[in-house]
Chain A
Amino acid sequence: MRRIWGILLALLMGVGLGLVYAWMISPLRVVDSEPSLLRADFKEQYRSAIAAAYAANGNLPRAKARLALLGDPDPVAALNAQAQQMLASGDTFHQADQVVALALALGENGVAASTSTIVVESNTRVATDASGKATETLPPPPPDVPIVLTETPEIIEMEPTQPVVVAESTPRPTRTPIPTFGAPFKLTGQETVCDPNLPDGLLQVIVYNTNRRQLAGIEIVVTWDGGEEQFFTGFKPELGNGYADFIMSPNVTYILQLARGSDVATGLITPTCQGTNGEPYIGGIKLTFQQP
């Protein structure tokens, strides 16, 4: 009996030590992984590359297929958030603009909140251990492993699409013209804001796409007699991705439009509001732009 316990104990210790070695000391090194497993900053670079390629070839289906590989639950939101981050961190406007342009194009195509599930037949494989020494390897992946992209049923804002899209791992391009930025934005709202809690002369701008989704990284140009300033949506994400603001000086008339093309809001001047005690104070203006 004692001997059996001894054997069992030795066996358990052996298994335990084996697991410690296999999981902690020398875990198998990953090769042949997929983009959805990349670290967040590398995913951002991947998205930037997708946007740059899209800006070059205008091939939206190919860009969609590539974005799906990243497994973002909402690719448009991910692109918008990245554009904000790029602008805030001082990346070139050109690169941020490419990301915004792709988000716009996807938004216009109703891909906004789609959830893509990627089923890759050949998953992560192992080839060498942590020390780089060759170990038993699984067979290499077939040269052209098909990727099955399936759209989940929770899709909203979607054009009717096929429930299952089977794409080659390297989608073939069809040359299409360089993308345009869509129709000019319409000024859909202009209202006086009388709120004593807000800064005096606050000019608020909110920009939406066709699907009423707020757009980050949109350049706004405001001009007045003897001056001009540019600012961007998305720097205050707590107020909305498509939000931007500017402080107007009293008695100055401003003109505002979106750099990408929009209706022009003219004659913008700080309004005078009445407080609850009858005291006048300087109010603000709220402008809303939307793509038709």
Chain B
Amino acid sequence: MGLAYGWYIDPVDYFDLTPDTLRADYKTDYVLMIAEAYRVEQDPGLAARRLAVFGTRSPSSIASEGLAYARANGFAESDIVLIQELVTALQAWSGIP
């Protein structure tokens, strides 16, 4: 009963969370923001730094995950193209300035 109450009825309230806990659509929207900025800035290093908020995974895998979500959930074609460009740039980016 204590476990049920503590886990389901009144679980611990969380705040001060990290971006890796964000729901998939918010994560994808974040990736899209970075892709929109990348289209103009053309700076894969800056885009990678911005994606680093999601933790230790590689920027290209984070962006790829966003791309997969965007494709699966009916994002506008123009958005998908932007994310695709970002994925391609990050895959080609070595991280060495």
Which A positions have Cβ atoms within 8 angstroms of B?
11, 14-23, 27-28, 30-35, 37-40, 42, 45-46, 48-50, 52-53, 55-57, 66, 69, 122, 124, 126, 135, 141, 143-145, 169-170, 172-173, 175, 178
A170/B21 in contact, CB under 8 A: no
Q: Please report the C-alpha to C-alpha distance between residue A175 and residue B20 in the assembled complex, in whole angstroms.
A: 29
User: Contact between B33 and A23 (Cβ–Cβ < 8 Å)?
Assistant: no
Question: A144 touching B37 by the CB < 8 A rule?
Answer: no
Closest CB in chain A relative to B49 CB, distance in Å: 10
Min CB distance A231 to B, Å, is: 26
Quick check: A53 and B33 within 8 Å, CB to CB? yes
> Smallest CB-CB separation from B12: which chain A residue?
A27
Interface residues, chain B, with chain A CB atoms under 8 Å away: 1-7, 11-12, 14-19, 21-26, 28-30, 32-34, 36-37, 39-41, 50, 53, 70, 72-76, 78-79
The 8 nearest A-B residue pairs measured at CB: A18-B2, A22-B6, A52-B37, A53-B33, A56-B40, A53-B36, A15-B2, A39-B16
Is B17 within 8 A of A170, CB to CB? no
Establish whether residues B79 and A57, one from each chain, have CB atoms under 8 Å apart when the complex forms: no
Contacts A42-B18, A126-B7, A141-B24 known; 6 new A-B pairs at CB < 8 A: A22-B2, A27-B12, A32-B22, A34-B23, A57-B39, A172-B75
By a CB distance below 8 angstroms, the chain B residues around A15 are 1-2, 5
- Cross-chain contact B78 with A22 (CB below 8 angstroms): no
CB distance from A119 to the nearest CB of B (A): 14
- A-B contact list, 17 entries, CB within 8 Å: A15-B2, A17-B2, A18-B6, A19-B6, A22-B3, A22-B7, A23-B6, A32-B22, A37-B21, A40-B16, A42-B53, A50-B33, A53-B37, A55-B37, A57-B36, A173-B79, A178-B40
Q: Tell me whether A45 and B6 are in contact (CB under 8 A).
A: no
A50 to B89, CA, bound (A): 20
Q: CB < 8 Å: which of A28, A33, A40, A50 contacts B7?
A: A28
Per the bound structure, the CA–CA distance linking A2 and B12 in Å amounts to 35
Q: A19-B5, A169-B29 are known contacts. Are A42 and B37 too (CB-CB below 8 A)?
A: no
- Provide the main secondary structure of the chain A interface: helix
Bound complex: CA A56 to CA B50 (Å): 15
List the A residue with the shortest CB-CB distance to B16.
Answer: A39
Q: Indicate if the CB atoms of B28 and A170 lie closer than 8 Å.
A: yes
Chain B neighbourhood of A122, CB < 8 A:
23
Please judge, given known A-B contacts A15-B1, A27-B12, A170-B79, whether A144 and B18 are in contact too, CB under 8 Å.
Answer: no
CA of A126 to CA of B21 in the docked complex: distance in angstroms? 10
Partner of B22, one of A34, A50, A170, A172: A34
* Complex alpha-carbon distance, A23 and B4, angstroms: 11
Check A28 against B11 for contact (C-beta < 8 Å).
Answer: yes
Question: B14 to A124, Cβ gap below 8 A?
Answer: yes
Whether A35 and B26, one on each chain, are in contact in the complex, defined by CB atoms closer than 8 angstroms, is yes
Judge whether A173 and B29 touch: CB under 8 Å: no
In the complex, are the beta carbons of B12 and A143 less than 8 A apart?
no
For the complex, give the distance between the alpha carbons of A170 and B70 in Å: 9
What residue of chain B has the Cβ atom nearest to residue A20's Cβ?
Answer: B2
Q: With A and B bound together, what is the CA distance between A178 and B40 in angstroms?
A: 10
In the complex, are the beta carbons of B40 and A32 less than 8 A apart? no
Knowing A38-B19, A126-B7 touch, does A49 contact B50 (C-beta < 8 A)? yes
